[in-house]
Amino acid sequence: MDTQATLDLLKELRLHGMARAYEGLQAMPKQEHPSAGQLIARLADAEAQYRAGQKTEMNLKLSKLRYNAVLEQVHCSAGRNLDKETLLTLSDCSFITRAENILITGATGCGKSYLACAIGRQACIMGFRVLYFGMNRFLEKITMSKVDGSFIKMLNQFDKTPLVIFDDFGMYPVDNATKLALLQILEDRYGKRSIVITSQLPVSKWYDYINEPTIADAIMDRLVHSAQRIELKGESLRKNKPMYQN
């Protein structure tokens, strides 16, 4: 089988990573070609890396993250109340495997949304599926799912996603139906999946925001238990660094 026939077969078998690596190897002088064992190892590694990259791209596309943020660009300082050690503990995404929540609070412009999206992007790179929702969009999705009958389907989607991000919690008024829907999502995920929440309101004010004692007790119990809290401080980063948002 000649080189082109081999490439065509690899592509037909959807072994695109192998095909690219094999094509690259053919451009090398023959005396530099690897042995049979080295060739197989190199092709297998190329295919594994290709598939990992494709999975990451798909995860990022489906996540609908608000910002193309990366943890390496998150500014750490004592003034922000954020250190590199905290970012390091987040970078391996082990909090997802432990089904822990992350609650990020702080004033507007301090970088909450950027940090949340950076965590989400890192999770995608690590192979986890992620869903991002600004709270306004989440409220709209709840309303529409009730109208078109897709509410159960929506709950199943949330239940199957390892990490869900709710951005700007506490900014918009919520009706009783939305509170119950949020409680259902939290109940389904409790002890199994992780949630990242950003809010301008300190966690101590969330109970009053929900403004329904029985539901608030249930929601807060499922959110706060085993959650890591990050309280960002300092002046708005929008003044000097447009990449940083809420």
Q: Are 200 and 78 contained in the same domain?
A: yes
Task: List pLDDT tens digits, range 123-180.
Answer: 999 999 999 999 999 999 998 998 899 999 999 999 999 999 999 999 988 888 889 9
16 vs 216, higher pLDDT: 216
Distances (CA, A) of 112 to 80, 124, 164, 196, 199: 11, 19, 15, 10, 8
For the chain, how many structural domains are there in total? 2
Does residue 26 contact residue 83 with C-beta atoms inside 8 Å? Answer: no
Task: List pLDDT tens digits, range 29-88.
Answer: 877 788 888 888 988 988 888 888 888 899 999 999 999 999 999 999 999 999 999 999
DSSP 29-79: -GGGPPPHHHHHHHHHHHHHHHHHHHHHHHHHHHHT-SS---GGGS--BTT
Most confident residue range from 11-15, 20-24, 102-106: 102-106
pLDDT surpasses 80 at 2? no
Q: Are 120 and 34 contained in the same domain?
A: no
Structural domain range at position 161: 64-239
What CATH number is attached to the domain comprising 166? 3.40.50.300
Which of the four pLDDT bands, split at 50, 70 and 90, describes residue 246? very low
What pLDDT, on the 0 to 100 scale, is given for residue 55?
A: 87
pLDDT surpasses 80 at 210? yes
Q: Are 129 and 49 contained in the same domain?
A: no
Q: What is the average pLDDT across 19-26? A: 83
Nearest-CA neighbor of 95 among 194, 218, 161? 194
Q: Are 55 and 71 contained in the same domain?
A: no
Q: Are 213 and 135 contained in the same domain?
A: yes
